Amino acid sequence: MARMAETQSLFGDPDPPPPPPAEPAALYADLVFDRPLEVPYTYSVPASLAGDVAVGKRIIAPLGAKPDRGWCVAVRTEAPDRPCKPIIRVLDPEPLVDGHLLDLTRWMSRYYLCGWGQVLQAVVPAGVRRKAEGPPPRASWLVPTPTDDLPAEPPKLTPRQSEVLEHLRMSPAGMETSALLAAMGCSSSVVDGIVTRGFARKVVRPEAAESPSSPMARAHPLTPEQSEVLSRLEPSLTGDDFAPFLLLGVTGSGKTEVYMSAIEKVVARGRQALVLVPEISLTPQTEARFAERFTSVAVLHSHLSESERQNRWRKVAAGRAQVVIGARSAVFAPAPNLGLIVVDEEHEPSFKQESTPRYHGRDVAVMRASLLRIPAILGSATPSLESWFNAARGVYTRLDLTRRVEDRPLPRVEVLDMRHPPARVPPGRALSDPLVHALKHALRAGGQAILFLNRRGYSPFVVCPGCGETATCRFCDLSLTFHRERNILMCHHCGFHQPPSDECPACRKTTVRYQGLGTEKVHEELQRHLPGAVIRRMDSDTMGKPGSHAQTLEAFRNRLVQVLLGTQMVAKGLDFPGVTLVGVIQADAALHMPDFRASERTFQLLTQVAGRCGRGESPGRVIVQTLNPEHDAVALAARHDFLAFSRGEMEQREMLGYPPFQRMIRIIIRARDEKAADDYASRFAGACRLAHESAEPKRPIKLLGPAVAPVARLNDYHRRHLLILSPDSRHLHSVARAALASCRPDGGAEIAVDVDPGNML
Ligand code: ADP
Ligand code: ZN
């Protein structure tokens, strides 16, 4: 021993003492499961599995009587104070989430009051969970043959093949075959036909390959306003701190251009950027705009096949995508060195998930940016009042784009009062004379039109003139919509349908009347007014097939379609220079919903629809049909005046004590048995009161309800709800958490907790 010490001192510092060779330290793993459980459970790790266990992997372990699959969120050596069961098996060879995503998901489970395991389950796509292992995939690509290389008389293609080819040609460098199939909703035989006729060739590229570099499109020279915004972003893009921005930019002001220039800065530092957009805006056009500027773009949307999603997830995790674009759940994309998060159209309700975990993609994005100490840009022409409030308090830095690019004017919006001539229409008709006149005029001048009506089907109400009864769903407290093409009465919530009958089901005396307007009916009316025009309907009835959405937009872009009539799908994000007329058929449809955001939503929708117009050379014209021309949501949208609208609306919210001035948690309770719903709802309200009273220090709280939910019955469940409001988010959470812990549902009742609810029905 003495000799050894001597030798050590010859070589400088002594080595640390060698580890005790005998017993390896016992190992414990904390697991969370896909259940609404608050805390992780600790298990012991048998020595044989000690080498496999790691944070972020899934592990099978006994939970109650049965083995279940949990996520490992911590590994430690201190023994817990209680005896624990051993784990059974480690599922994943590599962790599926890193430490950062664990932090983010833990925050989510606390903030959204749900299980950490439930969040993790939702964060990692099923395909990734199932195929955590596998050889690096090789992807089949299709490259279109340049037109110059085709024979003078190329072989004939079927119309479907031509359509698909046309889409492929938008990416001269080629597309992954699976992406093309998904985008066009076609079978591989269509593609094979194109290849055998020489219009494209198949190549295999390892997934690792970045989209082959075509010359990168040069950016537009920025407008002075865009440059100003970019220079204010610059220090954060090159710095290392969390910095949230709210970009208020009128429609067509070039927000996307600003995002891309900002992304270039972080990509230049070897970092990645994440761009969240509403699902509806994930069009080939969006993809193409980014693909023109960046060598590797990964798009995550809901139409991807499981294996495709897994491939892209892996590409992102390997840091091979400079830009990740996706809808809500892409906020969890595992980019290893993220430098910027952008949330476009940040006000969109679709960023909020309506099932557990009920998270808001925008808010999670901001939290992720804060954990990573990077900038986040939220952009919109009509910001949510929540974000606006944050900007007003200085939590977010506000940036403005007040003008459209190239000094294009914002479209003139004409508000038509449908209560009086000349706009008044007889019952059952949708289009006023001035709107029809404008349509004819626009088409004659070679323009295109977008018409918006947020209701699909033919007639939303089937009413008996004798007894006044309305046809309602057997399972929901909602009226049935008549769909003429399918000849059914359908519930838009649960899908229940029945054949229509002329006789009133209640009194059996009279013939029912079909009331109200749906897109199907307006389509008919349009065809009568515009014989010869090509009119396409775009709603979830006509756009059921994957790819049909992209196809319709493509046809519209190529001016094969003159009039696009549709629901929300036509309202948002579209950028078509040929559109010279936008018509809103019923501006009031959502104005009187029992929802404190009814005005805000109406204002946003009208502003967005109007913004689809006049994006080309010719100025646009917008016509809004309404029964409430004086309402702020209508009148101020017509003037594109977000500032005035937000001022008035904020005053209202503050007076009424609604968000963003107060934070809100909505508790929804449902049960098959009405009494069970009532009982549990009142017990839960009692538990909230008790939790509030025993809390120290005292903070204000307001409890509204329990009450029958605006939609009293859904999917054959009776529904009650309860709103808890407080200006103090922490107090609000602790009251709800205590009530949840002390008052478990019983008697068949179920509970859903919705923090920062978006849907009030
Ligand atoms: P927004 O997202 O604010 O509605 P976009 O980014 O879609 O606006 O821009 C609207 C249109 O203006 C697009 O066709 C875009 O290519 C074009 N554009 C954006 N910035 C510029 C610029 N600096 N110069 C010329 N055109 C621009
Ligand atoms: Zn129903």
pLDDT of amino acid 133: 44
Q: Has residue 104 got a pLDDT over 80?
A: yes
Q: Looking at the structure, tell me whether residues 668 and 631 fall in a common domain.
A: no
194 domain residue, yes or no = yes
492 domain residue, yes or no = no
Q: Has residue 14 got a pLDDT over 50?
A: no
Q: Average pLDDT for residues 572-600, to the nearest whole number?
A: 88
Report CA(51)–ligand 1 centroid distance (Å). Answer: 54
Find out whether the beta carbon of 223 lies less than 6 Å from any atom of ligand 1. Answer: yes
pLDDT band per the 50, 70, 90 thresholds, residue 1: very low
Q: Has residue 4 got a pLDDT over 50?
A: no
Q: Looking at the structure, tell me whether residues 324 and 401 fall in a common domain.
A: yes
Please say whether the beta carbons of 686 and 665 come within 8 A.
no
Q: Average pLDDT for residues 337-361, to the nearest whole number?
A: 96
Q: Looking at the structure, tell me whether residues 398 and 414 fall in a common domain.
A: no
pLDDT of amino acid 230: 97
Which residue, judged by its Cα, is nearest atom 9 of ligand 1?
A: 254
Task: Give residue 656's identity as a one-letter amino acid code.
Answer: L
Q: Looking at the structure, tell me whether residues 673 and 618 fall in a common domain.
A: no
pLDDT of amino acid 139: 63
Q: Looking at the structure, tell me whether residues 123 and 182 fall in a common domain.
A: no
Find out whether the beta carbon of 226 lies less than 6 Å from any atom of ligand 1. Answer: yes
Which residue, judged by its Cα, is nearest atom 2 of ligand 1?
A: 255
pLDDT of amino acid 131: 63
Task: Give the strand pairing for 702-714 and 717-726.
Answer: antiparallel
Phi/psi at 290 (nearest 5 deg)? -75, -40
Q: Looking at the structure, tell me whether residues 173 and 50 fall in a common domain.
A: no
Q: Looking at the structure, tell me whether residues 576 and 718 fall in a common domain.
A: no
Structure tokens at 198: 């020489």
pLDDT of amino acid 21: 47
For the segment 295-304, what is each residue's pLDDT rounded down to a tens digit?
999 999 877 8
Number of Cβ atoms within 10 Å of the Cβ of 27: 18
Which residues span the domain enclosing 58? 27-130
pLDDT of amino acid 181: 81
CATH number for position 327: 3.40.50.300
CA 332, 335, 338, 343 dihedral sign is: negative
pLDDT of amino acid 138: 55
CATH number for position 77: 3.40.1440.60
Task: Give residue 152's identity as a one-letter amino acid code.
Answer: A
pLDDT of amino acid 18: 53
269 or 153, which is more confident:
269
212 domain residue, yes or no = no
pLDDT band per the 50, 70, 90 thresholds, residue 210: very low
Which residue, judged by its Cα, is nearest atom 10 of ligand 1?
A: 252
Find out whether the beta carbon of 406 lies less than 6 Å from any atom of ligand 1. Answer: yes
Percent of the chain clearing pLDDT 70 (strictly above): 93
pLDDT band per the 50, 70, 90 thresholds, residue 272: very high
Q: Looking at the structure, tell me whether residues 235 and 306 fall in a common domain.
A: yes
Q: Has residue 487 got a pLDDT over 50?
A: yes
Find out whether the beta carbon of 286 lies less than 6 Å from any atom of ligand 1. Answer: no
For the segment 517-541, what is each residue's pLDDT rounded down to a tens digit?
999 999 999 999 999 899 999 988 8
494 domain residue, yes or no = no
Report CA(429)–ligand 2 centroid distance (Å). Answer: 27
423 or 619, which is more confident:
423
For a mutational test of ligand 1's pocket, the pick from 575, 576, 609, 615, i.e. the residue with the most ligand atoms closer than 8 A to its C-beta, is 575
Report CA(497)–ligand 2 centroid distance (Å). Answer: 8
498 domain residue, yes or no = no
Dist. CA 96–CA 24, nearest whole Å? 27
Dist. CA 478–CA 470, nearest whole Å? 10
pLDDT band per the 50, 70, 90 thresholds, residue 17: low
Please say whether the beta carbons of 233 and 366 come within 8 A.
no
The domain boundary residue, chosen from 75, 102, 130: 130
Find out whether the beta carbon of 575 lies less than 6 Å from any atom of ligand 1. Answer: yes
Lowest-pLDDT range, 130-134, 319-323, 550-554?
130-134
pLDDT of amino acid 16: 52
CA neighbor of 755 nearest in space, from 742, 746, 734, 745:
734
pLDDT of amino acid 205: 63
pLDDT of amino acid 518: 93
The domain boundary residue, chosen from 385, 406, 427: 406
Q: Average pLDDT for residues 730-753, to the nearest whole number?
A: 93
Q: Has residue 693 got a pLDDT over 60?
A: yes
CATH number for position 699: 3.30.70.600
Q: Has residue 12 got a pLDDT over 50?
A: no
Residues with Cβ within 8 Å of residue 86, at least 6 apart in sequence: 43, 44, 45, 46, 61
For a mutational test of ligand 1's pocket, the pick from 405, 576, 579, 608, i.e. the residue with the most ligand atoms closer than 8 A to its C-beta, is 405
Report CA(252)–ligand 1 centroid distance (Å). Answer: 6
391 or 471, which is more confident:
391
Closest listed ligand to the CA of 289: 1
Q: Looking at the structure, tell me whether residues 624 and 670 fall in a common domain.
A: no
Q: Average pLDDT for residues 578-606, to the nearest whole number?
A: 92
Q: Has residue 605 got a pLDDT over 70?
A: yes
Find out whether the beta carbon of 405 lies less than 6 Å from any atom of ligand 1. Answer: yes
Percent of the chain clearing pLDDT 90 (strictly above): 63
For a mutational test of ligand 1's pocket, the pick from 247, 257, 575, i.e. the residue with the most ligand atoms closer than 8 A to its C-beta, is 257
CA neighbor of 357 nearest in space, from 384, 337, 331, 379:
331
360 domain residue, yes or no = yes
Find out whether the beta carbon of 252 lies less than 6 Å from any atom of ligand 1. Answer: yes
Q: Looking at the structure, tell me whether residues 328 and 444 fall in a common domain.
A: no
pLDDT band per the 50, 70, 90 thresholds, residue 577: confident
Dist. CA 87–CA 366, nearest whole Å? 36
Lowest-pLDDT range, 15-24, 89-98, 516-525?
15-24
The domain boundary residue, chosen from 130, 164, 187: 130
pLDDT of amino acid 162: 86
Q: Average pLDDT for residues 609-628, to the nearest whole number?
A: 87
Residues with Cβ within 8 Å of residue 165, at least 6 apart in sequence: 144, 157, 194, 199, 200
pLDDT of amino acid 132: 54
Structure tokens at 385: 């009042």
pTM for this prediction: 0.85
Find out whether the beta carbon of 257 lies less than 6 Å from any atom of ligand 1. Answer: yes
pLDDT of amino acid 15: 54
Q: Looking at the structure, tell me whether residues 640 and 672 fall in a common domain.
A: no
Dist. CA 697–CA 627, nearest whole Å? 49
Structure tokens at 228: 């100003």
339 or 169, which is more confident:
339
Residues in the chain: 761
Highest mean pLDDT among 36-40, 319-323, 408-412: 319-323
Which residue, judged by its Cα, is nearest atom 13 of ligand 1?
A: 254
Instruction: Give SS3 for 549.
Output: helix
For the segment 135-193, what is each residue's pLDDT rounded down to a tens digit?
444 567 788 887 777 887 888 888 888 888 888 887 777 777 877 887 777 888 888 88
Report CA(227)–ligand 1 centroid distance (Å). Answer: 13
pLDDT band per the 50, 70, 90 thresholds, residue 125: confident
User: Which numbered atom of ligand 1 lies nearest the CA of 226?
Assistant: 23
Q: Looking at the structure, tell me whether residues 615 and 557 fall in a common domain.
A: yes
Number of domains in the chain: 5
Report CA(567)–ligand 1 centroid distance (Å). Answer: 24
Q: What does the mean pLDDT of the chain come to?
A: 88
Q: Average pLDDT for residues 725-739, to the nearest whole number?
A: 94
454 domain residue, yes or no = yes
CA 181, 187, 192, 195 dihedral sign is: negative
123 or 721, which is more confident:
721
Find out whether the beta carbon of 220 lies less than 6 Å from any atom of ligand 1. Answer: yes
pLDDT of amino acid 207: 46
535 domain residue, yes or no = yes
pLDDT of amino acid 211: 43
